[in-house]
Structure formats: C-alpha cells, structure tokens
Structure 1
Amino acid sequence: MHRVGEILEFTNVSQWNWVPTNLNPADLATKTNNANKYKTWLHGPDYLLQDQHEWPICDDLGPPNNAEVRHNILFIDNSPMELKLNAEYFSDWRRLYRALARFILYIEKLKAKQKKASPPTEVSYEMIQQARTLLLRHAQSSEFNPEIRNLTRDENQLLRTRGRAENLNGQNQILLPYGHHITRLIVNWYHQEMHHTSHETCINRIRGMFYIPRLRVLYKGMRKSCQRCKNESAMPVPPQMAPLPIARLAAYQRPFTYVGIDYFGPFLVAVGRRSEKRWVVIFTCLTIRAVHIELACSLDTASCIMCIRNFINRRGTPRQIYSDNGTNFKAAEKIICDKAQTINFNAVQPAFDDIKWKFNPPAAPHMGEHGSDFKDDEAITPNHLLLGSASGYKPVFETTHTVQHMWQAVQEFADQFWRRWVREYVPDLARRGKWFTKRPPIAAGDVVVILDENLPRNRWPKGIVEQTILAKDNQFTVEVCCDHIHLMDLHVIFS
C-alpha cells in the first residue's frame, strides 16, 4: 500500500508503460508456470530491447481517480425468508414460544414507531399464536422442505395430514418431524401437563393435535430422561453378590474362632413380685454356624463386656468379632481392643489384644454373614465339634486305645468333620443365590434416592454420595449425606 502511494505521489500517468499479462515477469514468482523463462525473470521482456515506439500500448492506462473501481451487481432473492433461531437453547415449550412472542412484540413496537402510532404494551394472544405457528413451520422446514414446495398447506403455511379425524378439533393434525428439538419440547410439555401420569391419555392428546412418526418411542425415551419419572419408578440396584469372607471358610479352625454378636429381646422375667427386662446375647460361629447364648441384664457397656467375658471363659478367645454399630459394642471394642493391656479380665485368659473387632455398615445387615440359602443337612452339625456327635453323646473308644493315644482319634474325628464340611457345606455357601450381575460402582457426587421401608415411596429422602469404599471385588459400600445425616446404606437407587 505504501509503495503504491509513493508511485502515485512522485510520478504521473504519462511516465508509465503497460506490460501485457502474458509477458509480465512478475507473474513467474506468483503463478505456476512450467516454462523455462529465467531470462525473462532476470532481464525483463524482450520488447525492452526494441525502440520505445514499438512497446505495447494501453489506451486506458491508470485509473481516472484514486477510488477503487467496483462492479455493482443487484441480486434479488424471491425465496421465502427462513426463520433463524436457536431452539436448542430452550428446554421448555412454553418458555420458547413466549420468548418468540416477546420478540414479535418488539417488532410491532418498531413498526408502530415508524408509523407514529401508539405501540402495543404487552404480548397478545395473537402474538402467541403467531409465535407457535412460526416455530411449527421452523420444525417442518428442517425435515419436509420438498414436501412443503409440492404439497398444499393451510392458511398458516403448515403441513397437515388428511385423515378421517379432522372433525375432532375442526381440522387435521399438524405434521411434525420425529427427532426435532421442538417436537420433543411439545411432547414433554404435554407430559408435564398430565402431571407425569396417565401416559396413554397424554399420547391421545398429542395425537389429537399433531401427527408425529414413532410417537410412542419418542414418548418412552422422554420418560426415561424425565427426572421425576426416574425417581418414581426407580428400583434398588444391588451389586453382584460378593465372595464369601475368610470367616465363613475358615476350615480346620476351632469353633468360635470367628464370631458374630447380636442382641435380641427384651424378655420380661419375674423377680420376686416384679417383672424386669432381660436381653439375650447370641454368639454365632461364622464357620460352622454354632450358637452360644448369654443373658444380659441391660444394654449398657458393662453388661456387654460381662457377656463377652463369660463367652470367652467357655469357648475361648475369638480371633475376629463381627457386630453392628451399637453404642455398647462400640464402647466394648474400645475397652477390649484399645485398652487390653491396662485391663486384666482374668489372669488365666489369653491376651485380649489378639481380638479384631469389625463393625458392619448401618442398614446393611447382610454384611454380618447372617445366614444363607441352603438346606439343613442333619448328617453334619456344629455339635460334632462342640459335643462330639450330633445328639451330644460322646464317641466310645476301644479299650485298646490308651489315654496318651486318644488325641490321635480325636484329631482324626475332627479331620473327618472338616473334610465333609469342605466337600458338602462349602459348595452350598459358594453358590450365588441372587445379585448375579455386576453393577457400576456409585461415584462420589452422585444423586441417589435412599430406600426407607418405613416411609412411602414419594417420601423417600434424596442424598448426595460423599464417599464410596470399594470392596475387593470392586463393589461398594456407600456413604450418603442426606439432610446432614450420614447414612451407610447399600439400598440406594440411582436417580
């Protein structure tokens, strides 16, 4: 630009000469040319070696003024104006057509100002109808352009079906494309008008006004994406049944090595002329399913420790204890496990610091190994190890066995029990009776509905997952925060 300005300032047109395009050496650097014209590039065209009166002449050399010469072309498009709008920005049919109606109100104000008339002040019913018509025409033009040009339209330039139900609303149905965003907004609006119920009635109302191909498929997909419908139709999604823990498969271990503890009751007992409450503490061997029962006078920590002490004096010190999150169990765990070295329960008892106490998550009793679906086999019972036989009678040894060698017979009897236990009992435990399919783990931040059997479905609280604890099989125990209450619950529903 500056170079051209200098040329126009310090020269005039009479000093210029014309170079034809086919002889211009400057084009060799900017245009593709396979010809070998290095001489032209270095020395210029050949006519420069001739007399100046033989050079090419151009009569209209140079522009008449400094203005750029342009050719004005007028193009008139008689095609109808297409409505340009971003309908995907809206998620509600009513908000969409009312927003367009307000834009029409703005246009009417501009027209009134141009005509110096009083402008309208609010959106009228006619503007809303005009907005709806424009939106329906926009939806049809995106899919049915060839049909719009070839078929007859109504007074609003809309495509309608020609069927036998035209007397239902005085006119035929408006044709709408299946996958258009405006179509989905209309279907969703009717669904909300029916308060997310009476789905067949809702479909019939839509069919009374519009013809939408595959309407049932569209309506079903819309219900799957509706948050309220998902909450009302949600079902618990249990994870795949986990493998049995070591406590259930501890073969060749003495009874009550792995113990589950729980309370049941209370029961009224007669003490003189008055009645008092008593509770029963049940100790269950998680391996052979043997049961030990102790009587508790109250639910406090001291009574709980006394029952555990009586149990250990009779059955020995367990390796692991499983229980729920009762306050008495929590306090007993601190005393027995954390302060075992400072408290001496019994001088002849083994050290209590060998005990490991595990607590089940709240509202998840199935994590306490409470039973399994199997048929009782009378041929093998816990009494075989506790009492020596199923009925309680001790096996009689031959007189040829000395006292010193009886331990071999007892060991062989125990080995027979455990062999049958592994062969007959474990296969029933290993079978998954339910929860066969693995589920994707719930992640922190997911919104869930917490199943509460004591409340009706529409009163179930919602929660946000704060933390998930993955098990060895990548299934989960989830911590839910709901109304500032921390719940540990596997019965959660994705919402």
Structure 2
Amino acid sequence: MFSFLPKQPINGTLTKRTILSIASSLFDPAPVIVTAKILLQELWLLKIEWDESVPQNIASAWQTFVNNLSNLPSVRISWYCLSANMKSLQIHGYCDSSIRAYGCGIYTRIVDNVGNVSVRLFTAKSRVAPTKRQSLPKLELCGAQLLARLFAKIKSTFSNYTFDTFLWTDSQIVLHWLQMHSSTLSTFVGNRVSDIQDLTVDACWRHVPTKINPADMVSRGSTPLELTTSVWFNGPEFLYEDERKWPNGKSNDVDMEIVNAEMRKSVFNIIVNNNYLLEAHDRYSTHTREVRVVSWMLRFYTRLKKDNTKMVDGPLTPDELHRALLCIVWNVQQQHYAADIRLLQRNKLTNGILRNLNPFLETTQEFELLKVGGRLQLANLPESQKHPILLPSKCGFVMRYVRYLHIKNYHAGPKALVALIRLQFWIVNARDLTRRIVRLCIHCVRYKPKLLQHMMGNLPVERLTPTRPFSRCGVDFCGPVNIYLRVRGKIPYKAYIAIFVCFATKAVHIEVVSDLSTDAFLASLKRMIGRRGLPPDIYSDDATNFVGAYSKLSELKAFLFKKETKDVITNYCANQFINFHFIPPRAPHFGGIWEAAVKSATGITQTNDLNRSVMNTKLTYEELTTALVEIEAVLNSWPLSPLSSDPSDYEALTPGHFLTGSALKSLPERAVADNVNQVNRWNQITAVKQIFWKRWSHDYISDLQARTKWNTQWFLSMGTMYHRNDG
C-alpha cells in the first residue's frame, strides 16, 4: 500500500508563492488537488503578485484546504492493480465536468479463475476549466478528450495483455457528437471529436448516470476524508456485477437545440447564369431604343452568316423590328418561365398560375414562344388576340413596354392599357402593373393630382331618420338634351333633366324640364310632389358648386341662381310649407348622394354614354320621358346592400320596396339593330339601354380567357380500363 505525508505549511504571510509551493509538493490524488488548482486560477485572474498577500476569502478557503490535508496520510492506495490468477482484463475510464474543473479516472477490472471481480484505480487526471467561459456540454467534451488522451498514454502498459476498453460519460450530448462526423461540427467541437475518435478507435463509449459516476468527485473536488469513504479507489458498484446489469445508456434525452447550434455553418457558391442581353437592356430607359438596338444586332449577326445571300441596307424595316421584339420576348420567357417550358417540352402540364391559361409552345420566326391556350379558339378574333404571348409582370422590359403603350396612346388609363396589351401579349397580373404605371406617370399625376382630403364627416340626421320616401330629398340637374318635334324643318330645343333623390331610401325620381324658365322648373317640382308626396325639406347645390359649373350647363347655372329665380322658388316652397335649403358654398361633398345619382343616371365614367346615345337618337319629349322613367326604374332596382350567396336568404332590399312594396322589374326585350334610325321609333328607347350591353362585350369577355376549373385534359391509351357514364 502507498500513503503520502504532505508538506507542512510555513508560518507567516500567505502569498501566491506559498500556495503554489505547497500545491506542487502534493502527490496528485486528483479529487483533492483540484481544489488547490481552482484557488490558484482565481489568484491569476486577480493578478496578485507572487509575494503579495492574498485576499481574505481565498486565505480562508486555503486554510480549510490545508486543515483537511491532515487526513491525507490515512488514504491508502494499492500499488498493484492486476492479479496473479487473472482470467480476463477490462479497462474502464470515466470522465465528468463542472463549470470550475473537469477530470477523468481509469480503472482495471479483473476477473480471476474462481470468478471473483476486483476493481482498482489505475490513474487519474484533472484540469481546471479555461478562463474563457464555455458551455457545460463543451466542458464535458473537454473531459472526454482528457480521458481519451490519458487512455492513449497508458494503453502501451497493457500491451502484453488482451483487454476490452469501456469509456463512460454522463453527457448524452457528448455521446451524440462522438457518433457524428467531425467535419459536420463547429471548429471547437469538431477538432476535439476528431481527436477522441482517433485515440479511442478500439474503445466502446457508453453512458453512465451522474449519481454513480466516480469522476464526479474530480470535477467538484473532494477532501481526503471523503476519499476514504467513497468509491473513488474501488470503482462503481455495478462493475462488480454481470455485464448485463450495467447501465445500458439508451436515452433519447438529447437537447437537439444545443447539438444543432454546434453544427458547421455551410457556405455554398451559387453560380447564376445571367442573361446578358436583358442585363444590357436594363440600361435603356425606353422600349423603342432597346428594340432598335436588338434589331441592329440581329442584322449584324445575319451578315456574318456564310449562307447569307441577301444583304439588307438602309433603315430598319418593320419585319426586323418585329423579329427583334420576339427575340427579347423569348429571352424574357427563358428567364422567368424556364421550368414551365421544360414541362411543356416533355408534354406535361404546367403548375401555378399558368395552369389556368392552358399554355402551349409555338414557333414564331425561329423563336419557340410560350402562348396562352385559353378558351377563345372559336372566336372571330385575330390569332394574336386568341393566343397572346405570355409575359411576366415583374420584368424591366415589360414595364418599359407598358409605359411605351401608355405614352403612345395619349396616356391611356389602366383599363385601356390592359385592352391594348391583350391585343398581342398576356401579362400576368396586368391590371396591377397598368395601375402602377399610370400611378408613376409624372404627366398623369400633374394633370390629375391627388388632393389632400379631410376625414369624412358624420352623416346628417336626415340620412339616418326613417321617413316616408322623398320626405327629405335633394335635387340636381344634368343636360342639356336636345328634344325633336315631329314637324319637318323644326329645329330641336334644349331640355334639362331634374333628378330628385330621397335621403332615407336613396330612391330616385327623374323629371324632364322643357326650358329655362321658372314655370318649367316649378312644373317639374309639382309633378314630383303629385306622385311622391309633399316633401318638408328640399336640398340643392349652391351657385359655386352646382353641376352647372360644367360648361354645357352654364346657361342653367346662370338661370337657377339669379336672385329673381331663387326668390320665386323660395316663395313657392314656403307657400307649400317646404323648406328649401342650399348647401354651403364650395362644399360639393355635402350633396354627394345626388351627385352619385346624376353619375349613375348619365353613366359618366370616361365618357357620357347616356347623353351621347340620346343625342344620336333624336328623341321626342314623350320618348325621352319614357327612357328616363325606365332608367329611373333601373336605379330604383339596385340593391341597397351586398347580395347574399345563400339561397335561403331574403331577396335584396331595393329603393323600389319602399315605393311600391316590391322590386321594380322590367320585362325582357328583344335585340334591335345598331342602326336605330331605320326601325320603329319606339325601339329607340330599348336601343338606349343596349348601349350598356356593348360595354359588357368589350370589358367582360376578355376576362373569360382563363380556365378556373376543369383545366386538366385526360387521354385514353390502349389497354386502359374506363367506365362509361351515360348520365
């Protein structure tokens, strides 16, 4: 047996030199001396000089350590670790770590011929944790590396014996790292994992619970008295049992967040195939210039061909410019729709938004272009409109092309731009693109600036109070409209349209005012009162914001707001117990409800459809009155709230419900020819309403191009079993 008598401390001032002298004289029982190492590390961190007195807290800890050394001679260590009647030999290594230190110990397990098991401590080693703070899993890995290096150092001692090696750790994360390739881990972890894997090729790493891990005493330090009563010298108890009763180490308690944090960050070099033609064209600001540049390039390329027999000189021809345009479009499609083109070349269906358009490939002037299949194959339209060329919206060339169309067509609006584009191309999300082009056009912004607006005010009480229809109403005028007489040679005379709007129900009443006289206006007011009842309040525009500000209504404005006219109207309304109100000057938003009614009645959007159609049909007073009554019925049939898609809901509420108790409906009418002057005059009224159907044919039919469902076509092949459905 071996024992050790420690060096007696020198009386006097306790310094770093004194502590290092006593600690270095100790024979290395690892669990004991690790405490001295931790104290020395603290002195180095405090930058204490060699002969300077140590702080009080360290002096107290050192004194406790020295007092415990008095029990060190009682520690007995066996010199011999083997056995004369040895049947089998195993080497077991244990490692553990704490925030302050880490260490390891190696044991020999011997089974003799009788079957007795003896376990002896062979060697041990400890180290303090580095001053640079590391995570506990990394310190556990440092302990495993220390164990691997210690095993590699003593392995040659047992070169004359046959033995098995088992290395134990209580860290599941370290075992997980040791099963990975070092190249997939971070530099710190990967270097240590590689070192451990190289030094312990023949060893078996296993997991041991912390409570029975003898290396735990090394990581936290121990006194000599604790060593004598611990398993440090004789190993854990399970080593004395059969191998089948050892800890199996099967546990899935691995913090993958820590494991993934130490994975090596992958860096890839991505090679992008740039389209130099499109990149060069991004330097040009206009569509015309980039097309002409490509056209000159194609002409130069054609001249370089050996089989070129026709030399073209002079200015660029339209065919050359069109071919250059197709060349640019082909490059754009190859950049943005390469995956879809490859699918179509393999006779497969495309994916994504193009699937609804049923695209196909067609060769045009040596360029294989992607075109829209659509549903207009049987339409009487040009081929370029039935199968337009597909283009993306997020492309510099496309934006310059749309801007070129916008300027060329006198700064056309978004809807007109979409119609012009679809004569030749189909741009995905064309509406958003055209709105963006128009919004960014400086010329359009200057002529149609966006004015600052205040927050919309509260609705007046007249709009929110349930009352009889037309109890409180507003009046506005539009026109003039020419009225013809059925007398040869008689010139037409101007008439105007008075529109009364109910504040509560938004019901509309339209009257024809035959001339600019007080009597004519009062007559229209009397007709309205006779059919709709006496209104207590009537509201109208002021002179500064009346519809008459429109140039065609200058005469109406001058008449209605003469002092004599206003006095006559006010006196008449007062006699009828009607309060006639004028909204504030320069505040047309006070009369938004009747302005909207005028807009709906006349169809004012970009043009005045109703006024144009009425002017072209030469209506008499009776015919004009009939047309306006039908328009009034249409306006009073518009729903007041959005329609519901549930068939069990009630029908939509309309102003007609408040007037007659049900919706105002008109019977279907037959179609008439475009030349309304050669048919019955009563059909002219129907022709006025059919103007709106022409707008439907131009604005709506293009939206039917996409297939929103049933866009997959199936083909039957030989040997396929199918079921015939005659239903």
Shared fold per TM-score greater than 0.5: no
More helix by share: 2
Q: Please, what TM-score do these two structures have when normalized by structure 2?
A: 0.21
Q: Work out which of the two has the higher radius of gyration on C-alpha atoms and give 1 or 2.
A: 2
